[in-house]
Structure 1
Amino acid sequence: MHVFARHVACGLALLQSLAAGLAVPSPEFFDKELVTRRVVTPATVQAELGSKLSSGSLIYGPESPLWADSTERWAGASLPDIQVVVLPAAEDDVSVIVKYCNRNSINFFARGHGHGMTKTIATFKGIEIDLKLLTAVSILPDKKSAWIGGGQSVAGVIGALWNAGYVTPTGSNACVGFVGPALGGGHGRYEGLYGLASDNFINLKVVLADGTKLLVNGSADCHGDLFWGLKGAGHNFAIVTSAQSKIYPKQVDTWHFHNYVWTQDKLETVFAALNTFHGNGTTPVKMGVNFGQFVIEPAISAAEAILQWAFAYAGPAAEAEALLAPFNAIGAIVEQVGDVPYTQIPEAQGMGVGSPGCASALYAGTSANIQAYNITTERTIYKLFNQKIAQYPALATVSRVFHEGYATKGMADIDPSSSAFPLRDELHLVFFTTAVPPGSGLTAAADAWSTQVKDLWNGGQPTRRPTTYVNYATGGESLQSMYGYEPWRLARLRALKSKYDPNNRFRFYNPIV
């Protein structure tokens, strides 16, 4: 959109929002106290709301065959209490649904693709707004940006843009949503070149807590203050129905991947090589990400975890292999190498749709951010892994200790004060997950193991305060660890909360209030 035209559009949106009472929420916002109805049924919602929604929208409950797909979450044991699902067929429907919920004192919760580890969503009871039909990907005529629907997945975004000759930063797992992770920052394979997914936002169409529709961007007359907060703490402020993001011409036809499996005796050598490879944020920018994990592979050993690592490079094999020479020299027991279109890289790295990483089962989890791998700590965590699976065999094949190493230059080059995302000096994301079999009685043991791993990671960097990528938070973290230790950050976020969501309607996903 032309700059002048965009400002005119924002000006109109501003007038509309003032007419609707942005500074003082509209009267209907206060029609009833915000106490959730004791019982909300699909039949009631259909009778009261159905005729107000566009054709193709759906309202249903647990008896519907669509229910499982709409309510399933990756963290299968920390579930919201969803009474009714409303599936909007158009962006404007979201505002109608939110206003309906407010008039009837019903909590609402927007769902993109159901990922995330936080237990805070278990406090929710009410109507879920499932955005899965909002999937349009529309490249603008200038070929510099695209509008992306709030319910579109990473796989959908990558595929639509790649087939047209473009890319944009997204999350790295193909089955997660595009917008949801971006609201928490959005780490991904193009981070080294272009920054986080949220760094590439141009305009956002949002619905506020009172149902007001806004066009938001970085300009002062288009709610630049809210735009700042949405880029890193967005789950606290609005439902994003679509996002306009920068796009870039694809520079290569294929990505190179190289996957390794090492035995435990190589652990110290592998982590020393990783620390050298990543340096102090000097990872080669086209080496998008490497994923590594301690995991049991029964075909290799049922008692001793392997080290499984997967690298992906935005370029030809010769360039990639020159950079990977230190890892080639370690001596893997299994290697897998190939060159594929970018659309196939998530699958090659074990992050494709239908991969184990997309399956709903997670019970216990924990995460941390680290600057460099403490090799002694990693050995201790590895030993603990083997000890725990020997003690609790039911957890052996469903547990993993995961390490993510992105190229971070594009992210780090952006002014840290320019968005709510607070962690631009962190180099690695690490997390632990396990799935507790129903009826096993291992919940407490899994939680204890999870806490031990997190304490070890944080204890391995004693000069740094604990930090957590908000998208990987599990619910017990401090606000400062997720949203930044600088006092001004939380003060600014709370001021935005007071302005845009005074009744704290968006309080279910790692809330700041």
Structure 2
Amino acid sequence: MLQIATLDDDTISLPAESLEALRSSIRGEVICQDDTAYDLARGIFNGMIDRHPAMIIRCSGVADVMRAVRFAAEHRLLTAVRGGGHGIAGTAVCDGGLMINLERLNSVRVDPQAKIAWVGGGAALGDVDHETAAHGLACPGGVVSTTGVAGLTTGGGYGWLRGKLGMSIDNLRAVEIVTADGQFRRASEAENPDLFWAVRGGGGNFGIVTTFEFNLHPIEPEVMLCNPIYAAEHAREVLRGWRDFMATAPDELTTEFFFWTIPPMDHFPEELHGKDVVVPCAVYYGPPEEGEKVIQPLRELAPVLLDISAPMPFVEIQQMFDPYLPYGEVIGYWKALYMDRMNDDMADTLVDHFLDRPKNGRICPLVLHYLNGVSQRVPNDATAFPGRNWSYLMEYNLTWNDPADDESCIAWVRSAWNEMRDKYQQHGGAYLNIDSYSDDGLAWVKETFGDNFPRLQALKDQYDPMNLFRLNPNIPPSE
């Protein structure tokens, strides 16, 4: 007998014969708590999350996913879905229920002539970059190579190429998806277009995507990285200068402003270790010699501590943050906020928050995205993704190592986030891929999706009326 949690906040006993029938129908693995593979299979990115599912189905292919979903639906099991497991909220794993683990569905196939990639639902961004780079191509994605493609894409997909090429969902041609009834479907503009609309921004609410089909784009062997590092005492003037420069910057330049503390790592001069800094980081999509000319004003905003701007292979830029966010080894709590402007008072408040950060939570930078170009010109209702009409996205990210610091670090994030939100009336939700949304409930999800929420809820009624896929920024079925 296996005790397992259900969707009804109950626990049922699965008899041994049911488990044996499940095992015989799965080519992957059915893992229980006493199996040696259990701890590794349940592990995810955020070290704060230590949940124990009663059972894990580690799928080897689409047939396993279909069988796992049908089993979960038949028994009304509490079900978590792990693609890359990178979501900060930690909903890829649950306590007491079923975890459907896709990590083996990580294949990437590239057609260099057609400029198309087919990506498995368990692949990480680094898997895609490795294959596309071999053909001089790139797929717009995120900024950390261990990020799962599935969560990144179904939640939107901001990355270093968004200004010129758009978000991940803007380059998505089609998906293959297993919906809550265990059926395999293909969704594109021509097939199941309503479902295709929903998965582009609606998260994992509508099924498990087993394959993503992306458009790819040519990319230079090296692109120009802008990475000047300024001391924190110049933070206000650098932030305002960056803001003013980006107002007229070309689409080819995508930028993120980092509020950071230099870590004690060998590739930084020892005298800078532990120093608070700001970095107007950017990537230029185009010839690096053009990019170097474009970014030059960002390298002259104040006296520079260190300038590591240089032409670099794009795949290396995609891995820049990996050393600072080791998978499963750091504890994190993040909150995000869209903003429609950045006046001087708001800029000063962000700098004040930066300087006020808890000293034990400074592994990851606070990040301010400037949202420009192609990604912001898509109509808000063209996809389910709701973040098209904002100018900035602020990430209040704290990461730390000691669980004893959990309470104080979480309290600081929520205090700073609430102050910015309330003081400047920045209501409109957040980029849920980088938000610990579980603490804010349905109201936060509704605010984020805005006018798209009713249509999403109607599609939830159609494709998942039992709300099997609920461990996500959940869109519940209508009452």
TM-score normalized by the length of structure 1: 0.82
Q: Which of 308-317 and 408-417 deviates more?
A: 308-317
User: Does 1:258 find its partner at 2:226?
Assistant: yes
1:199 deviation in Å?
Answer: 1.7
SS in 2 for 1:173: coil
Residues 73 and 360 in structure 1, CA contact (< 8 A), matched pair in contact too: no
Residue of structure 1 equivalent to 2:240: 272
SS in 2 for 1:82: coil
Residues 180 and 468 in structure 2, CA contact (< 8 A), matched pair in contact too: yes
Alpha carbons of 1:148 and 1:489: their partners in 2 closer, same or farther (altered >3 Å)? same
Alignment of 1:264-303 (within 5 A): 264-279=232-247, 283-295=249-261, 297=263, 299-300=270-271
Residue of structure 1 equivalent to 2:180: 209
Letter in structure 1 aligned against 2:431: Y
Cα distance in 2 for partners of 1:439, 1:486 equals 33
Q: Residues 349-372 of structure 1, C-alpha deviation per residue, up to 9 Å, x if partnerless?
A: x323x4436454234322212234
User: Does 1:510 find its partner at 2:478?
Assistant: no
Alignment of 1:166-185 (within 5 A): 166-185=137-156
1:448 deviation in Å?
Answer: 2.0
Aligned residue among 217, 221, 232 for 2:201: 232
Residue of structure 2 equivalent to 1:356: 325
Residue of structure 2 equivalent to 1:467: 429
User: Does 1:132 find its partner at 2:103?
Assistant: yes
Alpha-carbon RMSD across the aligned residues, in angstroms, is 2.9
1:300 deviation in Å?
Answer: 4.9
Aligned residue among 396, 401, 410 for 2:366: 401
Q: Which of 421-430 and 67-76 deviates more?
A: 67-76
Residue of structure 1 equivalent to 2:3: none
Cα distance in 2 for partners of 1:507, 1:139 equals 32
Alpha carbons of 1:483 and 1:170: their partners in 2 closer, same or farther (altered >3 Å)? farther
Letter in structure 1 aligned against 2:342: Y
Alpha carbons of 1:379 and 1:415: their partners in 2 closer, same or farther (altered >3 Å)? closer
Aligned residue among 366, 383, 388 for 1:419: 383
Letter in structure 1 aligned against 2:308: Q
- Structure 1: gaps of 5 or more residues: 1-31
Q: Which of 496-505 and 304-313 deviates more?
A: 304-313
Q: Which of 62-71 and 152-161 deviates more?
A: 62-71
Q: Residues 270-302 of structure 1, C-alpha deviation per residue, up to 9 Å, x if partnerless?
A: 1112211221xx542222333412325465578
Alpha carbons of 1:101 and 1:487: their partners in 2 closer, same or farther (altered >3 Å)? closer
1:187 deviation in Å?
Answer: 0.9
1:99 deviation in Å?
Answer: 1.1
- Structure 2: gaps of 5 or more residues: 1-5, 265-269
Aligned residue among 50, 62, 70 for 2:41: 70
Residues 421 and 483 in structure 1, CA contact (< 8 A), matched pair in contact too: no
Q: Which of 483-492 and 313-322 deviates more?
A: 483-492
Letter in structure 2 aligned against 1:245: F
Aligned residue among 293, 317, 321 for 1:322: 293
Letter in structure 2 aligned against 1:125: G
1:336 deviation in Å?
Answer: 0.9
Residue of structure 2 equivalent to 1:195: 166
Overall identity of the aligned pairs, in %? 20
Cα distance in 2 for partners of 1:113, 1:266 equals 38
Residue of structure 1 equivalent to 2:309: 337
Alpha carbons of 1:439 and 1:276: their partners in 2 closer, same or farther (altered >3 Å)? closer
User: Does 1:113 find its partner at 2:77?
Assistant: no
Cα distance in 1 for partners of 2:83, 2:157 equals 14
Q: Residues 180-211 of structure 1, C-alpha deviation per residue, up to 9 Å, x if partnerless?
A: 11101111122122221112222211111121
Aligned residue among 13, 24, 29 for 1:51: 24
Cα distance in 1 for partners of 2:89, 2:135 equals 36
Residue of structure 1 equivalent to 2:215: 246
Task: Work out the number of aligned pairs and report it.
Answer: 464
Cα distance in 1 for partners of 2:107, 2:227 equals 33
Alpha carbons of 1:257 and 1:45: their partners in 2 closer, same or farther (altered >3 Å)? farther
Q: Which of 477-486 and 80-89 deviates more?
A: 477-486
Alpha carbons of 1:481 and 1:411: their partners in 2 closer, same or farther (altered >3 Å)? farther
Aligned residue among 112, 115, 121 for 1:150: 121
Q: Residues 408-437 of structure 1, C-alpha deviation per residue, up to 9 Å, x if partnerless?
A: 311122222111011101233222233455
Alpha carbons of 1:33 and 1:445: their partners in 2 closer, same or farther (altered >3 Å)? closer
Q: Residues 470-507 of structure 1, C-alpha deviation per residue, up to 9 Å, x if partnerless?
A: 11221234656545568642111111111110001111
Letter in structure 2 aligned against 1:96: R
Letter in structure 1 aligned against 2:156: G
SS in 2 for 1:155: helix
1:113 deviation in Å?
Answer: 1.3
TM-score normalized by the length of structure 2: 0.87
User: Does 1:497 find its partner at 2:460?
Assistant: yes
